[in-house]
Amino acid sequence: MTILVFGKTGQVATELQRLHAERAMVFLGRDQADLASPETCATAIDSLRPSAVINAAAYTAVDRAEDEEPLATTVNGAAPGAMARACADLGIPLVHVSTDYVFDGSGTQPWTETDQTHPINAYGRSKLAGEEAVRAAGASHVILRTSWVFSPHGSNFVKTMLRLARDHDRLSVVDDQVGGPTPASAIAEALLTLTDALRDGAPGGTVHFSGQPYVSWAGFARAIFATYGARTDVLPVGSDAYPTRAARPRNSRLRFSKAAGLGDTAPSWQEELGFTIA
């Protein structure tokens, strides 16, 4: 009953490896299955014949994707589609990680699974292409959308803020983008829970899984500094004061899905924040 995981070094994949002692899992990095060559993903699935597949790998360079949209779309769109078709052929489930960036960020209400998607940047378009390819393949699947992922691993907002705080008494941080910071550890556990549910015959579909309470980047920065005792003031600014190559959604709130086994309460980023930096 081996679970094949695409991804090895990302935040979520690293947390899944932490749970490896409790599960039979095989992890494939880029050297073994390069998502830029989608056929290698299908070949790996056909060769290993796992009981389920989790795709925790992705092209995540949001700004660079504006100049590399074909590559981003291959990695985030065509590769998950190839995985899903291989899973359909073998009759095994696929759990695929997606993002709040498939929405345009309008309004202030949390996005639901049935809301109309409308990405405003290349990264979001590439992730939406992946969702559509997975659904079209006909495999038993769950698409888990999440947002603002943080962990002790890799690059993320928490680690960036703490690094900058070492050299700055004040930082300007965007205050008009609001979302739900989500611990990678909670995502990893949710992926395994959903995988088990699919293997037990539960219906699939699209699931929203992000942390609460909702907060702006500036509010999140204040919480980070308070948690770690950093004496750095936060100056809230608008998105126009911090222009980026790719447009960012202003509203990244995702309404938490009460899916099979995930419970009734969204993960609390406040409870997990203190464990981010060892």
Q: Which CATH number fits the domain that encloses residue 52?
A: 3.40.50.720
CA dihedral 117, 123, 126, 128 (to 10 degrees): -20
In a domain, 171, yes or no: no
Of 89, 249, 276, the residue nearest 179 (C-alpha):
249
Q: Other C-beta atoms within 10 Å of 55: how many?
A: 30
Euclidean distance between CA atoms 206 and 158, whole angstroms? 27
Digits of tens for pLDDT over the chain (278 positions)?
Answer: 799 999 999 999 999 998 877 789 999 999 999 999 999 999 999 999 999 999 999 999 999 999 999 999 999 999 999 999 999 999 999 999 999 999 999 999 999 999 999 999 999 999 999 999 999 999 999 999 999 999 999 899 999 999 999 999 999 999 999 999 999 999 999 999 999 999 999 999 999 999 999 999 999 999 999 999 999 999 999 999 989 999 999 999 999 987 767 888 899 999 999 887 65
Sheet holding 94-99, edge to edge: 25-28, 3-6, 52-55, 94-99, 141-146, 205-208
Q: Output the pLDDT for position 70.
A: 98
| Distance between CA atoms of residues 147 and 193, nearest Å | 19
Question: Would you report the helix, strand and coil content of the chain in percent, each value rounded to 5?
Answer: 40, 20, 40
pLDDT number for residue 149: 97
Domain hosting 123: range is 3-156+181-211+252-267
Q: Is residue 174 part of a domain?
A: no
Q: In the prediction, which pLDDT does 19 show?
A: 86
Tokens 């003031």 correspond to 233
- Beta-bridge mates of residue 207: 144
Q: Where are the beta strands (DSSP E) in the chain?
A: 3-6, 25-28, 52-55, 94-99, 141-146, 149-150, 170-174, 178-179, 182-183, 205-208, 215-216, 233-237, 251-252
Residue 104 to residue 164: CA distance in whole angstroms:
29
From the CB of residue 193, how many other CB atoms can be counted at a distance below 10 Å?
17
Whether 231 is in a domain gets the answer no
Q: Is residue 38 part of a domain?
A: yes
How many domains are contained in the chain? 1
Q: Tokens in use for 152?
A: 């002790």
> Is 226 contained in some domain?
no
Q: What pLDDT is stored for residue 277 in this prediction?
A: 67
Cα gap 270→151, rounded to integer Å: 13
Residue 132 lies in a domain: yes
Q: With both helix axes pointing from N to C terminus, report the angle between 184-199 and 11-18 in degrees, rounded to the nearest 10.
A: 70
For the annotated catalytic residues, the residue numbers are 123
Within-domain flag for 278: no
pLDDT of residue 257: 86
Tokens for 66, please give them.
């504006």
Q: Which of 165, 191, 182, 176 is nearest to 270 (CA)?
A: 182
Is residue 235 situated within a structural domain? no
Rg (the chain; Cα; Å): 18
Which of 262, 9, 273 is CA-nearest to residue 142? 262
Closest CA to 68 of 10, 5, 121: 121
In one-letter notation, the amino acid at residue 166 is R
What is the pTM (predicted TM-score) of this model? 0.95
* CB half-sphere exposure, 222, CA atoms < 13 A: 10
